Structure 1
Amino acid sequence: MAHLNSSLVLFLFLLLHLFHTAIARGGESHSGFVDNSYAAASRRHLSEENHFKKLDNLAHGYMTNSDLEKAMKAFHGRCSRISRIYSIGKSVFGVPLWAMEISNRPGKEEAKPAFKFIGNVHGDEPVGRELLLLLANWLCDHYMKDPLATLIVDNVHLHILPSMNPDGFSLRRRGNANNIDLNRDFPDQFFKINNDLTERQPETKAIMNWIKSIRFTASASLHGGALVANYPWDGTQDKSKSYYACPDDETFRYMAKLYSESHYNMSQSQEFKAGITNGALWYPIYGGMQDWNYIYGGCFELTLEISDNKWPPANELHTIWQYNKKSMLHLVASLVKSGVHGRVFSSDCGEPLPASIAIKGMNYTIKASETLADYHRLLAPEHQYEVIASMPGYKTRSTTINMGEDPMTVDFILEPINSYLPHQLCNRSSINILEVVAKPHFQAALILMLVLTFLFFLMKRKAISNHFRGRKQRRVSAV
């Protein structure tokens, strides 16, 4: 009997050991680390549990996902004249990814630049969620009262996504519900990771579709764990930790400094000179959202680390907001307070042209919009640039500008290469008219109008004939 009891105890011990090992392997499936030691697995399990409890306690005073949705809808109810609320998709758990637009004409296509803020990319970095709601409410409260708020609302389409990773926030962890780091899930310029569309996370797909639907000029994502403004490139071709400049390095340095110098103490950093850093020099990452925005979206994005503590106590949020408020506002306002802006037209018919805009010496091009042909190109001040507009079927034009602290407007009028041939873009109106004429109800109305016109002509002709006949008779009788 004693032998049987000891065997049973041994069996239960082995079963418990296997159970803990299975938990450890599942929990670390995306890190590539598996510890087969029972003691280590137990310690890690307790550590994770304690970490979750700690974050759960810190979450008191932060908005839940439900609270966040209610706060956004309450904001729109209070500020409906200058805002709209919409969803760009859903998370793994089916939570809507709610976004809001702030503008004096929300939802309307205009020849204005667009900016986006994204918060909570990492689930355990929730400060951005809170700050973006504070930003939205500040703009609502100060519109038509504060010059900076009025400038932004009247001249920029500002889009705000407070939480890109609501599932990660609920789970109190960095990754999403599938435990994937969303800031490593975008296509990469150097390596073929994430090229399989079916493998990308729904949150990543939502951001990529968002970029395709709205032409953003610039953007920023809000993170925690450091105090620095990070700019491209985020990685290097040889995976080395070294400064790797993108074509618009000067412009990105200008944007990053604008944020850090407007911040309460970011520019005073002892770790990062002037409070800014090139991503690859800090630590290289691949599949990041920042570089993807610049390469594929024509959007100048910064990664902003806005608090040393990833999840500070809620009573510190007001102070963090005060430290970042001016920086956030100035970064958005820079879209209209600097850079070169304009529109592109055809010389032969005045049609807007969705031309490409390039800067000589920079291997980077943006496109004017398809319908309004407006472009907005951020540039570092105190430099001379040659701006080039090109469009297939048209002669390329360029002009040299001296960029100061103020924005510049440069419109282009492009001439067709074969001016004697009718250009397709100039025939849009004709094509539209032909489409209308081809409709049966329009053809019937046209026939009726022609018949009535013919009858009117006959009646008019008869009246004129009678008039002259009467005059001739009177003339004869007068003789």
Structure 2
Amino acid sequence: MSLSSLFVFLEKFGYHNSMEMEQYLKDINRTLPDITHLHSIGQSVEGRELWVLILGQHPREHRTGIPEFKYVGNMHGNEAVGRVLLLQLIDYLTSRYLSDPLVTRLLNSSRVHILPSMNPDGFESSARECMYTKGRYNKNGVDLNRNFPDAFESTTDQKREKEVRAVMDWLQTESFVLSANLHGGAVVASYPYDNSNRGSELQGGLSISPDDDVFVHLAKTYSYSHSEMHSGNSCYDSQDFSHGITNGYHWYPLPGGMQDYNYVWAQCLELTLEISCCKYPPEAQLPGLWAANKPALLAYMQQVHLGVKGVVMDSYGKPVQNAVVEVAGRRNVCPFRTDRNGEYYRLLLPGNYTIKVTYPGHKTLTHTIRVPYGPDAFSALTHNVLLQHSDYSSTATQLPQSCTTPDLGIQESDSATLLPPSVFTALTLFLLQRLLMLS
């Protein structure tokens, strides 16, 4: 299939079934192998592949300093607009690479992963209805956005669905920095936390994360780049949302959600984007929905370059995994750590920050840095860290078990009971203080 015929295929703005979508993704990957890579992260209950298309200058492998970004659509099978828009986004990015400066810089400076349908079984069983739930759940009748491990509740006895386990495994293979999950039924950008155990995170009816300022900025970036979302009252039967954004818990408590899981355990800041009043609108409305969301989808992708990034190296200059990288004043439930390449990414708004890096056998380093606005330059501030060996013996910073190995729900005994954030924080601070005393 030629490139031109691929683009004509999507110009119809229709709902494509799983076989048509799979064929399109395979054709675009075959036609543009230099900037795309197609792979399946697993299968649905009925055996449909969960296809992810990766786009970028080096789509087959991670490169140091190039952040990983992802969009996920169709988690609820009957919320079909996200699936359509992500296919349109693939078309837009691939057809304009090297000719459109914005698209070219986006794909050259980041590695973009797109999962158009997380729930293909639900989509295939959906009815073309605006607000009903037929097709929302997976084949086992489970709401996938209530099936992830939850930081605020013990869910060790809950079975993880195949689609959820596939995403959890996926998050262990890529160090995602920023993400969004596309839904329908409202027009608003929702940000963590989605849940609360009524601890210190609960403030004025909102469940506030340590990176709340960044999340609010990300949500407003999408809402104000959208043609209508920022007005806050796009749907006649929906509540008004100031600036077109909402704290997830303030809207309604949601246990087992994917965006909290991404943030707490995968170090990936994720929003839930509600992008259409109607979950499965008539096809005639799809071009308008694409036009309203296209600039917001692009602007949000560019936010992957907020903050600071770098490599942490030991005293021999070798990159190290699992060094703890903390930002003063941000006590994350699970401390951010370097990945297998020794890299760290922290999304931060412009300003001055104190960064503390701890690693076994090395002195704790504390640096104060000034962070500029990275998205304009398509790069976060690069701040590499060279650690110094310590003469004193020290043990590794032991993180809570549920931070290092989240519950996959395959067997009830696979994971320890999850602890509330206040306990996580206390444990982490205690262990870091012990490390400081020994170093």
TM-score (norm 2): 0.78
Matched ranges for 1:282-301 at <5 A:
282-301=251-270
Indicate the SS of the match to 2:208: coil
Query: 1:401 deviation in Å?
Result: 2.2
Aligned match of 1:188: 150
Structure 2 residue aligned with 1:146, among 83, 100, 112? Answer: 100
Aligned match of 1:119: 73
Aligned match of 2:283: 314
Contact preservation (8 Å) 1:229, 1:277: yes
Does residue 417 of structure 1 match 2:390?
yes
Indicate the SS of the match to 2:207: coil
Query: 1:344 deviation in Å?
Result: 1.4
Aligned match of 2:339: 369
Separation (CA, whole Å) in 1 of partners of 2:364 and 2:290: 47
Structure 2 residue aligned with 1:202, among 151, 155, 162? Answer: 162
Query: 1:238 deviation in Å?
Result: 4.1
Contact preservation (8 Å) 1:236, 1:242: no
Separation (CA, whole Å) in 2 of partners of 1:61 and 1:417: 62
Contact preservation (8 Å) 1:341, 1:376: yes
RMSD: 1.9
Matched ranges for 1:28-39 at <5 A:
none
Amino acid across the alignment from 1:351: K
Query: 1:331 deviation in Å?
Result: 1.2
What number of residue pairs does the alignment pair up?
Answer: 356
Indicate the SS of the match to 1:280: helix
**Unpaired stretches in structure 1, ≥5 consecutive residues:** 1-59, 421-479
1:187-225 CA distances to partner (integer Å, 9 max, x unpaired)?
A: 1112123x236x211000000000011111111100000
Aligned match of 1:272: 241
Separation (CA, whole Å) in 2 of partners of 1:413 and 1:186: 36
1:297-320 CA distances to partner (integer Å, 9 max, x unpaired)?
A: 111010000111111111211211
Separation (CA, whole Å) in 2 of partners of 1:405 and 1:98: 33
Contact preservation (8 Å) 2:14, 2:84: no
Aligned match of 1:235: 195
| Cα distance change on mapping 1:151 and 1:419 into 2, 3 Å | farther
Structure 2 residue aligned with 1:72, among 25, 39, 60? Answer: 25
Contact preservation (8 Å) 1:148, 1:333: no
Separation (CA, whole Å) in 2 of partners of 1:183 and 1:265: 26
1:71-98 CA distances to partner (integer Å, 9 max, x unpaired)?
A: 1112212221100110000001011111
Aligned match of 1:223: 183
Structure 2 residue aligned with 1:397, among 327, 342, 365? Answer: 365
Contact preservation (8 Å) 1:357, 1:390: yes
Aligned match of 1:470: none
Query: 1:99 deviation in Å?
Result: 0.8
Indicate the SS of the match to 1:277: strand
Indicate the SS of the match to 2:265: helix
More helix by share: 1
Aligned match of 2:433: none
Indicate the SS of the match to 1:367: coil
Separation (CA, whole Å) in 2 of partners of 1:129 and 1:167: 13
Separation (CA, whole Å) in 2 of partners of 1:287 and 1:295: 12
Contact preservation (8 Å) 2:361, 2:392: no
Amino acid across the alignment from 2:183: H
Aligned match of 1:165: 119
1:217-274 CA distances to partner (integer Å, 9 max, x unpaired)?
A: 1111000001111000001214999211011101111111111111111111131111
| Cα distance change on mapping 1:419 and 1:108 into 2, 3 Å | farther
Separation (CA, whole Å) in 1 of partners of 2:49 and 2:146: 21
Does residue 137 of structure 1 match 2:97?
no
Higher relative CO (Cα under 8 Å, sequence separation at least 6) belongs to 2
Matched ranges for 1:315-394 at <5 A:
315-336=284-305, 338-347=306-315, 349-354=316-321, 355-364=323-332, 365-371=335-341, 373-381=342-350, 383-394=351-362
Query: 1:185 deviation in Å?
Result: 0.3
Separation (CA, whole Å) in 1 of partners of 2:198 and 2:327: 28
Query: 1:109 deviation in Å?
Result: 2.5
Query: 1:169 deviation in Å?
Result: 0.6
Does residue 176 of structure 1 match 2:146?
no
Amino acid across the alignment from 1:244: S
Indicate the SS of the match to 1:81: coil
Does residue 96 of structure 1 match 2:49?
yes
Identity over the aligned pairs, expressed in percent? 40
Indicate the SS of the match to 1:379: coil
TM-score (norm 1): 0.72
4+ runs deviating over 3 angstroms:
238-241
Amino acid across the alignment from 2:283: A
